[in-house]
Amino acid sequence: MENKKRMVSGITATGTITLGNYIGAIKNFVELQDKFEMYIFVANLHAITSPIDKLKLKNNIKSMVALYFACGLDPKKVKIFIQSEVLEHTQLGWILTCNSTLGELNRMTQFKDKSTKVKSSNGTEFIPTGLLTYPLLMAADILLYDPDFVPVGKDQKQHIELTRNIAERMNSKYGEMFKIPGDYIAKIGSKIMDLQDPTKKMSKSSDNPKSYISLLDDLKEVEKKIKSAVTDSENIVKYDPEKKPGVSNLITIYSSIKNQTIEETESYFKDKDYGQFKNEVTKCVCDLISSIQENYNKLYDSKEVEQWLEEGANSARFIANKKLNKVMNLIGLNYKRK
Ligand code: AMP
Ligand code: TRP
């Protein structure tokens, strides 16, 4: 019997998927799906940590599901499901909440960044609690499935470290219950930067749509965004994230999509100027996006997708339920022995 290593990961349904999500996460899922047993979900519960319009949320979920498949995730190989359809996530999330401290949550840099944006109004009064506790739901998303690895972009590394700390602590307090997961971070593209401010991560929650590329952007729009991406005045295509963050970001995007090294990209563009460079980056991003969009349009309203999701949720539930029961028994929450 084959014994594949397991992976689990998810993307938050706060907007459509960006090129950063694709390169940092989905592209890896697709490449890994033959080698690993994979569980990939739409993190819809994570999308409500900050206020979000109801219709927007519904649309995001539907669109994200279709995009997963459109990007090449194969329902025969990967179990794809919607997080809230596996109730065990929230239940384990609560148990982990009771096994963690405010101190460790306060140290999460993502929380610090996001909460300072809200804080300016009035101390901590208006910071949504979910923003603080969300890494515990994420830890539950992971620990339910005993994965060997969690494929993510660099920004999630700290949350996975927290997950490991909690798992180790609970294993020694209550008895062995969780596998300690490793992170899986791609060598190229684990942090795609904002096109307008390449010192910041590309994010779908940015207020400026020119700063990110959505996989559902109109191709003309993509072209405009790449052409107006911030570079520098040197006109030399060289990778130097410190001194040339904008150009380095475009080199990373190009290398990742072309599946080649940074050095190969640098040498290819050695004698070309920024105009030619941006034209080629645009072409490679547009080729990728247009083929994804073609698949997406076929899948968006298809009945098949609903069927795949149901199968995915059933498989996920089977594993998650066994794990949750084990945890409940070890903690003493089940009074009947099972
Ligand atoms: P999120 O959109 O925050 O739910 O992120 C989903 C996945 O995409 C996570 O694995 C992130 O680390 C990854 N990701 C998000 N933004 C980027 C980015 N700009 N570059 C690389 N990976 C990213
Ligand atoms: N928190 C992740 C992000 O914002 C998304 C996510 C939620 C996730 N649960 C997860 C990623 C579990 C990996 C595993 O990027």
Report the chain's mean pLDDT, rounded to a whole number: 95
Judge contact between 189 and 23, C-beta under 8 A: yes
For 279-305, the pLDDT digits (tens) are 999 999 999 999 999 999 999 999 999
Mean pLDDT, to the nearest integer, of 137-162? 97
The predicted-structure confidence for 260-284, as pLDDT tens digits, reads as follows: 999 999 999 999 999 999 999 999 9
Residue 153 pLDDT class (50, 70, 90 cuts):
very high
Q: Is the pLDDT of residue 122 over 70?
A: no
Left (φ > 0), alpha (ψ -120 to 50) or beta: where does 2 sit? beta
The answer to whether 35 and 2 are in contact (CB under 8 A) is no
Could you read off the pLDDT of 71-90 as tens digits, one per residue?
A: 999 999 999 999 999 999 99
| Annotated active-site residue in 27, 79, 191, 201 | 201
Which residue, 198, 49, 210, is CA-closest to 117?
Answer: 49
For residues 311 and 79, what is the distance between their CA atoms, to the nearest angstrom?
Answer: 8
Which of 23-27, 64-68, 117-121, 202-206 is predicted least confidently? 117-121
CA dist 298 and 115 (Å) reads 39
Q: Give 239: exposed, middle or buried? Use CB within 10 Å, 0-12, 13-18, 19+.
A: middle
Is the model's pLDDT at 307 over the cut of 90?
yes
Q: Count CB neighbours of 61 within 10 A.
A: 18
Q: Which domains does the chain have, with CATH numbers?
A: 6-190+303-331 (3.40.50.620), 219-297 (1.10.240.10)
Asked if pLDDT for residue 1 goes beyond 60, the answer is no
Looking from the CA of residue 159, the nearest atom of ligand 2 is 1
Ligand 1 close to Cβ of residue 24 (< 6 A): yes
Output the residue whose Cα is nearest ligand 1's atom 12. Answer: 153
**pLDDT at position 118, please?**
81
If one residue of 12, 22, 86 were mutated to test the ligand 2 pocket, choosing by the most ligand atoms within 8 A of its CB, it would be 12
Tell me the one-letter amino acid at 281.
V
pLDDT at residue number 174: 98
pLDDT at 15 over 90: no
- Per-residue confidence (pLDDT) for residue 46, from 0 to 100: 97
Average pLDDT over residues 183-211: 94
What is the band of 123 on the pLDDT scale with cuts at 50, 70, 90? confident
Residue 205: the pLDDT is: 83
* Closest to 23 measured CA to CA, from 211, 180, 213, 157: 213
Asked if 48 contacts 90 with a C-beta cutoff of 8 angstroms, the reply is: no
Is 120 a residue whose pLDDT tops 70? Answer: no
- Sheet containing 6-12, strands listed edge to edge, beginning at the edge strand earlier in sequence: 78-82, 37-43, 6-12, 149-151, 182-184
What average pLDDT does this structure show over 234-245?
97
**What's the pLDDT score for residue 119?**
66
In this prediction, residue 336 carries a pLDDT of 74
| Ligand 2 site residues, Cβ closer than 6 angstroms | 8-12, 43, 46, 138, 141-142, 150, 152, 156
Residue 125, pLDDT score: 85
